[in-house]
Structure formats: structure tokens, C-alpha cells
Amino acid sequence: MAEDICHNITTVSNRIQKACQRAGRNPDEVQLIAVSKLKPLEDIKRAFKCGQLHFGENRAKELQDKMADYEEESLQWHMVGNLQTNKIKYMVDRVNWIHSIEKKKYLREIEKRASRIDRIINTLIQINISGEDQKSGCTAEDVPDILEYAQGLKHVRVRGLMGMATYVGPDEAEQVRPQFQQLREIRDQLRTYEADSVQLDELSMGMTNDMEVAIEEGATMVRVGRAIFGERNY
Ligand SMILES: *Cc1c(COP(=O)(O)O)cnc(C)c1O
């Protein structure tokens, strides 16, 4: 059980740094998001005390509870899991980033709720880059309509795209490189939709097993759980 979370964060940071070196990128361009789903608040506190500021959760209720129980102003909360319209109201007062927009109606609900409390929420459009039925996300063809809608919003910023590659083992990450390339290409083609509330600089892609490949393909956010907090018991 005794994961040395600080040590793990250093190890992951070194992996990020090496991947950036190989790709000729500045490591400051890659934000590490510690995915703390199913892990106790104690683990988040330990990571925060070692300087980790960005945390990701994938369930609305768990996110809501953890946000309420740990009030650190400099901590940034990321919702990385499936959304439901009726759960959005439980996160808008605190969440900083929502990675899993796949429909206009989610943006509409965020705008409605965030405008009441005068907040601006950062969002990413999730694309199903693996093409697997069980993974969420929209298709590249769905995105222009969503971005046109987002152009008129005042309390939502679309900041980029998110994708989850096919699950591969630690030595097989090379297999999913085309999926990351594809997300980047889709983003490049969508740049024409940029406006005050639509800036597509961020690419949220890469997890414990495939973060290096994702970084080489342009990731600006990697979402890492197990390499920091250890295996999860489902
Ligand atoms: C769980 C999860 C991760 C982290 O996966 P690890 O393999 O533990 O690094 C990243 N993104 C999303 C959306 C997740 O649900």
C-alpha cells in the first residue's frame, strides 16, 4: 500500500522531461494532471504537499466531495470522466477544467450555471480517437457545430481537445501513436473556429502507459493516475 507519492511524482516528471527532450519541446508546455479517482483524500493531500497542483477525477460525486473537503486555492480540479447534464450543477462552483465535452447541451448547461456565479470554466472537447464503442467522445465531424455554439458563450472557454487512446500495455505505447497524431491533426484543422471563447492550444492526451508517445505527438496535458498513486482496486 505504502506508495511513495512524492517519489512517484518525481519519476513521472522525469519521464515527461525526457520525452520533451526527445521531441525538442519545453517541459513547461506539458501539465501533469494527477488522476486521483478512487484514491482517498489523504493521497491528494500528500501529492499537493509535494507541489502537485492539478488533480483529475472521473466521477461527479467523488469530485464534488473531494472539492468540498479540500479547500486549497491554488489547487486546480479537472473533471476527466463522462458527464451528465444533471451533474454539472454540482461541479461548476469549484471545478477549473472539464475535459469531457461531447455535446452542445453540456456547454449550454455549464454556461447557464457558471453565469449565475460569474465564473468562467475551461473546457476541452473529447474526441473518441480509439473508435471503441465503450469509450466516450464525439467524432471530428461533430466538433465544428459545437465550436460555433461555443463562440457565443461568455462563461465557457473551449481550450482544446481531449482523447483517450486504446488501452495498451507499458511496452506497446507505440501502437497508439497514430491515434494521438490524429487528435493533433483534427485540432490543427479546427483552428479556423477560434474566437474569444474558443482557443485550441491544449491537447489532453497520454496516461501512465502511453504518456511519452503522447508528448512526442504534442500533448500539453497528460492525465496520470497509476504511476503516481499506484494501482486502483475497482
Ligand atoms: C483513469 C484515467 C486516467 C489515468 O489512467 P492511468 O492509466 O491510471 O494513468 C486518465 N484519463 C482518464 C479519463 C481516466 O479515466
Termini Cα distance of the chain: 15
Segment 31-46 shows an average pLDDT of 98
Between CA 9 and CA 226 the distance in angstroms is 11
Overall fold of domain 2-229? TIM Barrel (3.20.20)
Q: What is the pLDDT of residues 135-193, one digit of tens each?
A: 999 999 999 999 999 999 999 999 999 999 999 999 999 999 999 999 999 999 999 99
Query: What is the CA angle 194-32-210, rounded to 5?
Result: 90
Question: What distance in angstroms lies between residue 35's CA and the mean position of ligand 1's atoms?
Answer: 6
Contacts of 95 (CB under 8 A, 6+ apart): 63, 67, 77, 78, 79, 121
Question: What distance in angstroms lies between residue 38's CA and the mean position of ligand 1's atoms?
Answer: 11
Query: What is the CA angle 161-170-202, rounded to 5?
Result: 15
- If one counts every other C-beta atom within 10 angstroms of the C-beta of residue 168, the result is 16
pLDDT tier for residue 233 given thresholds of 50, 70 and 90 = confident
Using the atom order of ligand 1, give the atom closest to the CA of residue 33: 10
Between CA 224 and CA 115 the distance in angstroms is 31
Determine whether the shortest distance from the Cβ of 226 to ligand 1 is under 6 A: yes
Q: Is the per-residue pLDDT at 58 higher than 80?
A: yes
Using the atom order of ligand 1, give the atom closest to the CA of residue 37: 1
pLDDT tier for residue 212 given thresholds of 50, 70 and 90 = very high
Q: What is the pLDDT of residues 213-231, one digit of tens each?
A: 999 999 999 999 999 999 9
Q: What is the pLDDT of residues 75-112, one digit of tens each?
A: 999 999 999 999 999 999 999 999 999 999 999 999 99
Determine whether the shortest distance from the Cβ of 224 to ligand 1 is under 6 A: yes
Determine whether the shortest distance from the Cβ of 207 to ligand 1 is under 6 A: yes
Q: What is the pLDDT of residues 22-38, one digit of tens each?
A: 999 999 999 999 999 99
Contacts of 155 (CB under 8 A, 6+ apart): 110, 111, 114, 115, 118, 119, 120, 121
What sign for the dihedral angle of Cα 199, 13, 8, 45?
Answer: negative
